[in-house]
A = this chain, B = another copy of it.
Amino acid sequence: MRSIARGLGLGSAAMALTALTALAWPGTAGAAPAGTESLYAPSALVLGVTTGADADTGTVVRAVTLVCAPTPGGTHPDPVAACGELLANGSQLDPLAAPAADSVCTREWNPMTVTADGVWEGRRLNYTYTFANPCGLRNTTGVLFDF
């Protein structure tokens, strides 16, 4: 019996744990009962678009939420794809924000800044990326900031 249990490996154990979590709180989309710890590392972000180059003083013109654990959700228009990009890139968001290599933009200075704030895999995350003008934002490589 012992050898069978060991034979499951970490991957299967983690999958079983995820399934158990989903069963335990089916209606709350990621919130455990108050005062308890989640059985998974929390991943939830607020993504924003701010006018200007300074995220702390500029006006946030739009914002969405993105939850990636235990399942993708939030007000982001495509949570499944956005969470997939984050899983592939970890907390390194520059490759997702940067304009695609084949995009053609003018170069005037009319900055827009995107922000990602919250928690990624159990660690606090605060991220900003500034585009020279709105054209760069319209041509981001990923779907994460496409909202």
A interface list, Cβ under 8 A from B: 28-32, 34-38, 41-46, 48, 50, 55-56, 58-65, 67, 73-77, 115, 117-119, 122-124, 126, 138, 146-147
Contacts and interface: CB of A to CB of B under 8 A. Distances in A.
Contact of A60 (B32, B42, B48): B42
A34 B138 CA distance: 9
A46 B68 CA distance: 12
Given A37-B62, A45-B46, A61-B38, A31 B118 contact: no
B126 A30 contact: no
Nearest to A54: B124
A48 B117 contact: no
Nearest to A61: B37
A117 to B, nearest CB: 4
29 contacts: A29-B75, A30-B75, A31-B76, A31-B147, A34-B77, A34-B146, A37-B61, A41-B60, A42-B61, A44-B63, A44-B75, A45-B46, A46-B117, A48-B118, A48-B124, A50-B124, A58-B124, A59-B122, A59-B123, A60-B123, A63-B118, A65-B67, A67-B75, A73-B75, A117-B117, A117-B118, A117-B124, A118-B118, A126-B126
